[in-house]
Structures are given as structure tokens and as C-alpha cells.
Amino acid sequence: MTSVPPEYFLALAGLMFTIGVVGALTRRNAIVIFMFIELMLNAVNLVFVTFSRMQGTVDGQVVVFFVLVVAAAEVVVGLAIIVSIFRRRRSANVDDVNLLKW
């Protein structure tokens, strides 16, 4: 069986990460931005797994589990903040939340 070369995985991960960055920077809806951040995290996870397979070790995969757990916790906190902002302002637009400055 011919395996898929690792470059393909890396290219896919790079593509996902780029889409994530561009999306996170361009979108205004906080939930959408959140989703793009998740996309970037998963791109990184894919890179970890790819290199793990290339090396033949499980270190990278262990890190992926960590990332998944931390991402889950982060989503919980982040979504809670977004929900409470939405309750106050009737909006999830990040550009409306710009008081934390100077």
C-alpha cells in the first residue's frame, strides 16, 4: 500500500491554518472567529500527528491530546464570555467591544 506522502498533510495543515488566520482577522462575529481559531488549532494538531508518524513516535500525538483538552476548556470559557457579552449588548460583533484601550 502506498502511503500518502507527509508533504500532503503538511500542505493541508498549512492551508487550514491560513484559512483560520484570514478568517479570524476578517470576520466580525465572535463565534465565527472562535471557529476559525479552532480551525487553526486543528491545523496545528494535524502537523503534530504528521510529524509523529514520520518520526515513528507518539510524542506528537500526546501533545495533540493536550491541545484538544486545553481547547475544550478554552471554548467553555470563551463561549461563556461571548454569551455574557451578547446578553448585555445584543450583539456578538467584536468591533462593538472596544472599550478596553488607552
Partner 1 sequence: MTSAYAPFIVGVPLASAILLLFFGKRLGKLSGIIGSVAVGVAFVMGAIEFLSIVDADHEATFSSYHLFDWLAVGGFHVGLDLLVDRLSIVLVLVITGVGFLIHVYSIGYMDGDERYGRFFAYLNLFVAAMLLLVLGDNLLVMFIGWEGVGLCSYLLIGFWFEDRANATAAKKAFIVNRVGDFSFLLGIFLLAVSAGTLTFAGVNGSAASGVLGGTTASIAALLLFGGATGKSAQIPLYVWLPDAMVGPTPVSALIHAATMVTAGVYMVARLFPLFEAAGFDVLLLVAWVGAATAVVAAVIAAAEYDIKKVLAYSTISQLGYMFLALGVGAYSLAIFHLVTHAFFKALMFLGSGSVMHALDGETDMRKMSGLRKVMPITGVTFMMGWLAICGIIPFSGFFSKDAILASAWADGQYALWAMGAATAALTAFYMSRLYLRVFEGETVLPAKLEATHVHDAPPSMAAALIPLAILSVVGGALNLPGVLSFENFLGPVLGEPEVAHGITAWALGIAATILAGAGIAVAWSLYLRPGGLQLRDRLERMLGPAVRAARGKLYVDRAYETLILQPGRDLATFSADVLDRKIIDGAVNGTGRLIAGSSEILRRVQTGYVRNYAAVFLAGVVVLFSVLIIRVAA
- CB 63, min distance to partner 1, A: 19
- List phi, psi (to 5°) of 28: -105, -25
Give the position of cell 491554518: 17
Q: Contacts with partner 1 in 3-22 (CB under 8 A)?
A: 21
Q: Does 95 bind partner 1 (CB under 8 A)?
A: yes
Residue 98 interacting with partner 1 (CB under 8 A): yes
Q: How far is the CB of 53 from partner 1 (least distance, A)?
A: 23
Residue type at position 6: P
Q: Does 99 bind partner 1 (CB under 8 A)?
A: yes
* Cα gap 69→75, rounded to integer Å: 10
Count CB neighbours of 59 within 10 A: 11
From candidates 1, 4, 25, 72, binder to partner 1 by CB under 8 A? 25
The shares of helix, strand and coil residues in the chain, as percent rounded to the nearest 5, are 80, 0, 20
Q: Helix, strand or coil for residue 39?
A: helix
Q: Given the complex with partner 1, which of 58 and 89 has the nearer CB atom? A: 89
Q: Which is nearer to partner 1, 3 or 98 (CB)?
A: 98
Binding residues for partner 1, rule: CB under 8 A, are 21, 24-26, 28, 33, 94-95, 97-102
